[in-house]
Amino acid sequence: MIYYLVIGIYLIGLLIIGLSKSDSIKNQEDFSVAGRSLSTWVLVGTMAATWMGTGSVLGNAGKTFEIGASGFLLPIGGMLGVLVLTKIAGKARASGKLTVPEIIGSRFGDIAMILSVFALLAAYLVIVSYQFNAGGAVIYTIFHDNLGSGLTLNQATIIAALFIVAYTVLAGLLSVAYTDVANGILMITCFIIALPILFFQAGGFDGMYINFQNKGMINVPSEGNNMSLFGVLSFRDVINFTLPSFLLILGDANMYQRFFASESVQSVKKATYLLFFAIVILESLIVANAWISSSMITDIAKESHVLIYAAYNFLPPFIGALMLATIIGIIISTADSFLLVPTTILINDIYLKYSNRKYSDKTIVLLSRMLVLLLGFFSYWVSRMFAADTTIFEKALYAFTIYGTAITPSLLAAFFWEKATKYGAICSILSGTIATVYYGNKLGLDETVVPALIISSLALILISLIERKIRL
């Protein structure tokens, strides 16, 4: 009963916030960038909660079930990316733009902008799709695993998708930002409380060693050592698993949307530095909880849902309920952001830019909300396209690679490389997208990033240099 009470209160609270803030949204800028009013601490909270999505709490956690202590290496890409972002955030806020494609378009023209929109949509629909899958997994666990109800996993996914979309339609970025702060506090509190409890139940490091040994994950050459930070993953694995998140966060339109929403350039610079420490703490807590929990789980079917399983089976009911509410909060805070960004882009960079009609602020907000509904439908459709055995970790790597190889090189060039040209950016965006799809099918979803990045970067550099030479 406690699970339903805690989670129910949490979800009702989100809806109340969404409803209370919905009347404050008067125009597109309010809906998309919170009227450029977010303070430093609100920015830190919303950026951290957005980044710490299902890719972390289920993707990295699920991979940690497989590789043990080496899971602490998985978040390194995102951490390093944030450090680089500290040099970009101020420039982005000072640009006065609303979207990443708008930045690309202002430097490289409309074709590059439109191509970046399509690449972004492809990546973000995949990201939202596995948020739906994750939300469905939580609901399924609550209502099926323990009650034995007739609810199927697909039905649970539909319920999760409907709630996420409904909340996003109501909220806009103003509500999302403030609920993200609450989610961030809940995340840190819950994972800190859960860590010593799980560690004690596992029997400390000695108990974990014995548990992994019994599972055949200690001193087995073919499997590596789940108590060791190194040895399970090869250098190639580390690159393939960390580079996609590094590339994504450098160009992530969600982060830039938060930059654009800040109250000042100084505020966003400070927030980005603080974000680094927040991500280090949160990612480490997630992996640590997953690592300890995985030592106690023998059912391989629970690999992707290790923290969900731990919440129900290893933690006291109230703490377990908080853990599940935390996971739901992480899912929602990520999904709503990845729905809002493409909505903003399609409205601002495509519809309003190329429409000859003038629309009232009320009409634009209504169109934005209708578009959230449409994108939610397509995201659910995408979730059904992947093979049943495709893990959330693999889906995350694929989505991150699409975005990171197609958009990030041109975006960084717009800020830092004066020699980059229009056709260089166009070729980079196209080649990055095509290469990701090609190598994703040929090599696998987790082997795509290096060849796709090389092709995209070479296209940007070589075509730009050739174009400039021809002009001379």
- Looking at per-residue pLDDT, the higher value among 461 and 361 belongs to 461
Whether 451 shows a pLDDT value over 80: the answer reads: yes
**Whether pTM exceeds 0.75:** yes
Distances (CA, A) of 315 to 78, 110, 113, 323, 405: 29, 53, 49, 9, 41
Map out the domains of the chain with their CATH numbers: 2-98+121-389 (1.20.1730.10)
For range 468-472, the mean pLDDT: 77
Distances (CA, A) of 364 to 25, 196, 337, 367: 11, 49, 18, 5
Which pLDDT value is given to residue 297? 85
- Pairwise CA distance, residues 217 & 299, whole Å: 14
- Pairwise CA distance, residues 33 & 270, whole Å: 18
Whether 425 shows a pLDDT value over 90: the answer reads: yes
Closest CA to 261 of 20, 16, 46: 46
Of the pLDDT bands very low, low, confident and very high (cuts 50, 70, 90), residue 268 is confident
Which pLDDT value is given to residue 222? 47
- Evaluate whether 123 touches 252 at the Cβ level (below 8 Å): no
Whether 292 shows a pLDDT value over 90: the answer reads: yes
**Cβ-count burial 1-32 (b if 16+ within 10 Å, e if not):** eebeebbeebbeebeebbeebbeebeebbbbb
Whether 34 shows a pLDDT value over 80: the answer reads: no
- Evaluate whether 327 touches 49 at the Cβ level (below 8 Å): no
Whether 199 shows a pLDDT value over 90: the answer reads: yes
In degrees, to the nearest 5, what angle opens at C-alpha 90 toward C-alphas 86 and 92?
105
Whether 35 shows a pLDDT value over 50: the answer reads: no
Which pLDDT tens digit goes with each residue over 76-121? 998 999 889 888 888 887 777 778 888 899 899 999 999 999 999 9
Arithmetic mean of pLDDT over the chain = 82
Whether 128 shows a pLDDT value over 80: the answer reads: yes
Which pLDDT tens digit goes with each residue over 129-183? 988 888 888 888 777 655 555 678 888 889 889 888 887 877 665 566 667 777 7
Whether 196 shows a pLDDT value over 90: the answer reads: yes
Whether 67 shows a pLDDT value over 80: the answer reads: yes
- How many percent of the chain have pLDDT more than 90? 25
Which pLDDT value is given to residue 177? 66
**Cβ-count burial 187-215 (b if 16+ within 10 Å, e if not):** bbebbeebeebbbebbeeeebbbebbbeb
Whether 22 shows a pLDDT value over 80: the answer reads: no
SS3 for 224? strand
Lookup: tokens for 30:
């309010």
Highest mean pLDDT: which range of 159-173, 366-380, 418-432: 418-432
Which pLDDT tens digit goes with each residue over 299-340? 665 556 888 888 888 889 888 888 888 888 778 878 887 888
Which pLDDT value is given to residue 456? 96
Lookup: tokens for 314:
């290893």
Q: Which amino acid is at 467?
A: E
